[in-house]
Structure 1
């Protein structure tokens, strides 16, 4: 059995590791750390929850601690780029634990926080800077940080960085970093664009792969439930009530829809919070802390949280809306079954989401087991509005989204083929027509009058 001591890490790091839950290296750590300590560029492919942060963080800290003197003002020795604020925070927190009792200084910068305060933190320099690309460019343009002495560059969750449109930001940042450096790229999937990035920024890299890209953790029990869009909230309520006291993560497609669903679950008595792009960094941090501490049972989020949430207590992941980027499904469900635990992942599929489901199953190279309803017919799929379609229009009958139609008006049934009523649908309830990919549950207590937002776009965080 390989131990961290066998990998040659410094005594100070080994002492810090003794106070963590890391007792022996994971496969990605055992295979990556020796190459990184030798100074090789590396491309690491591993699914979420396999310990990638320690795989690159520990050997970088080992090499930096060997220098024996502090960094110069405003300079950075090692730069770690990650696509979301939550992931940056998670990496920063892990590295801070690893550096306890050492002289290494780890700083994080993200959008949504005070730019001036971050500039002040960087004034004395940093051994390791963990950053989102957008905020780092802000600091570079102001002259608050200097990357000319940066000898290490880490691109974490590189595939998600591409999905969010950060390739142009990466090119701008790379111009500030010396060509002679050590570059590490970690990703859970391997699209063609990642290969091109590796060819551009890595020199003769070692490739370490410990799992098939896109393959979810085997301990996750998956299932898909075919359900009309307007009935999803009711079905989610049933699932949540089946597992009282067990933490659940719910993913929505849009910021507006996720917030609306969160408020609806709160009305129904659940201890719930939400994180998405419309929340400030302080709000997101506070909600994640409450969820991590067990003060919340349910967290509703957009894909901003698909990566960067490492909470061992999450037992269930519900894809209330299927992602339009199929690889994000793998990262979403990877939020459960952490640290060797077991977990379940249930996907809700409306008629308009059949294409997304097929794309997900293509990435995974196998079908998701059906646990409710039946696959939608081609006629139903063709008739269903796609996410974002009919945006801002009211349902026939003049009611607001989520309200029943006027008395006496007919409403089209969206029952799955071969089924009378979707599982869990109370008698007499009428599903509302899907609007813009959001939630329109026909139930008392639903927030009224909210406008539907556009689907969440890939854009640089604030």
Structure 2
């Protein structure tokens, strides 16, 4: 176990190449994170690493930096070009993220260090020419890498020096155990290996025995989530039917501000919620396993750039539950279930690892079935030094799941981590009729049609992304993913909030009232009040400790 009491190191004290230091500086990183500070020197010494650090702690750069440094060191004596490093991740989105980090950190030595992401949905034969050029770093999912090796496109046995498995605790759960074991037979006997994970599960221990040799174990952060001064966690207990009413009022009254990820537990639920919000002209884009991988990555990129403020994401941990529920159906429904199941991508992940940037809020519209899933969902916000809010809508059926999360996360039963918010539901009763009216328009048929329409649209977008936009990168901004799926059903009068519906405590929030301009910000007193409350997205709620 590594000693955490060692003297802190800066990047320039780690013996890194000047070109690498310049690229790090261009990312705006002044100081290494804890995982980077501890792991990079050990990796540069050639040690195998098993590193556990929470989501958002900088694990990707912790293995990319030593990989680039070692490749640069080896170039001086290299006689021929060869693949030196292999990075495996369980999801295509994570591959894309690792690739972008690799490209950014090798930007000042791009001629010496070349990276290639082979995880995309392109045909294997079309990637063969790129692999024949023998890039220094190859990034992919285990099944994709194995397919290229067995197809004769990739040879690693005589050249590989470094192996990384990122999000190692997900590799077996994504069904890659057999692929990993087969893949190891195509690797050299001696190589440096890194296992990076947010948890040290039994699967990680099994991988450790297969891959690592006398590793240094870094277990750097006991806290599974950011501290309470950076991450505020709330829950609202409500009826299942009230969830739609609550999310409508929270978003429409701007009680939730900033970039938000809204998690649901099934793909149908994802589209049902999107269609519901469209009734009130609240734009959102969906993210699920049915969409092409290039579209999914593009959605994440545009969300990070600030093009979207709201993403409705289907958590991959709930996909199996949806599949099992479909198996009980008969007739046409069974055929439909089979058709949809074929379109799902097992190499999909949203709640784990993906680097959503500057996320202000995570809302659990559906509470996850596992505590670990809750941790990784909430880990999308309060990353780095930023602050964030997590809000969970809890129905009666989900109370036991909330209790399980509290048991794991709370050290003191009298001081819960996920604090309850109780407020007067009667203050938003005026919105109930509108919410019910909108929800009635979202039928099973409209959800199915929207689901198919979105898939067709994104498949078309995916083709455009692969061809046209490669040559016209500036036009990429034109392609949006938050377009309405049922524009004909949207009622114009639902877009605004009339003054008579405003809760008494919100009457001062003039910017959401119909009778005044949308951009109205009030006088100096209103501006001062807004500035004071700006940091807390749920500022209108008042927290009261639940009575025992």
TM bucket normalised to smaller: 0.7 to 0.9
Residue 181 (structure 1) shift: 0.8
Q: For residue 443 of structure 1, what is the aligned residue in structure 2?
A: 439
Q: Mapping of 1:248-397 within 5 angstroms?
A: 248-303=260-315, 304-366=349-411, 367-372=416-421
Match for residue 231 of structure 2 among 220, 230, 246 = 220
Q: CA RMSD in A?
A: 2.8
The 2-side partners of 1:92 and 1:151 are apart by 18
Residue 365 (structure 1) shift: 4.3
Residue 283 (structure 1) shift: 1.7
Please tell me whether Structure 1 or Structure 2 has the larger radius of gyration of its CA atoms: 2
The CA deviation string for residues 198-233 of structure 1, in whole angstroms up to 9 with x for no partner, is 133211111112211634454110012222333322
Q: 1:92 to 1:267 in 2, by over 3 A?
A: farther
SS at match of 1:61: helix
Contact 1:217 1:334 in 2 (8 A): no
Contact 1:47 1:211 in 2 (8 A): yes
The 1-side partners of 2:435 and 2:264 are apart by 18
Residue 424 (structure 1) shift: 4.7
Q: 1:133 to 1:193 in 2, by over 3 A?
A: same
Q: 1:23 to 1:146 in 2, by over 3 A?
A: same
The 2-side partners of 1:217 and 1:273 are apart by 30
Residue 84 (structure 1) shift: 1.5
Residue 88 (structure 1) shift: 1.3
Determine whether 1:12 maps to 2:19: yes
Contact 2:276 2:439 in 1 (8 A): no
Contact 2:245 2:435 in 1 (8 A): no
Give me the TM-score of the superposition, normalised by structure 2.
0.67
The 2-side partners of 1:144 and 1:277 are apart by 28
The 1-side partners of 2:118 and 2:270 are apart by 26
Q: For residue 5 of structure 2, what is the aligned residue in structure 1?
A: none
Determine whether 1:91 maps to 2:85: no
Q: For residue 36 of structure 1, what is the aligned residue in structure 2?
A: 43
The 2-side partners of 1:252 and 1:215 are apart by 21
Give me the TM-score of the superposition, normalised by structure 1.
0.79
The 1-side partners of 2:193 and 2:167 are apart by 14
Residue 56 (structure 1) shift: 0.9
Residue 124 (structure 1) shift: 0.8
Q: For residue 456 of structure 1, what is the aligned residue in structure 2?
A: none
Give the count of matched residue pairs.
Answer: 399
Q: Mapping of 1:206-245 within 5 angstroms?
A: 206-212=216-222, 214-218=224-228, 219-241=230-252, 242-243=254-255
The CA deviation string for residues 424-443 of structure 1, in whole angstroms up to 9 with x for no partner, is 555765999xxxxxxxx962
Q: For residue 137 of structure 2, what is the aligned residue in structure 1?
A: 128
Q: For residue 138 of structure 1, what is the aligned residue in structure 2?
A: 147
Contact 2:245 2:431 in 1 (8 A): no
Contact 1:318 1:347 in 2 (8 A): yes
Contact 1:81 1:131 in 2 (8 A): yes
Residue 30 (structure 1) shift: 0.7
Larger helix share, 1 or 2: 2
The 1-side partners of 2:137 and 2:431 are apart by 58
Contact 2:279 2:438 in 1 (8 A): no
Structure 1: give runs of 5+ residues left out of the alignment: 374-418, 433-440, 454-462
Q: For residue 61 of structure 1, what is the aligned residue in structure 2?
A: 68
Contact 1:231 1:431 in 2 (8 A): no
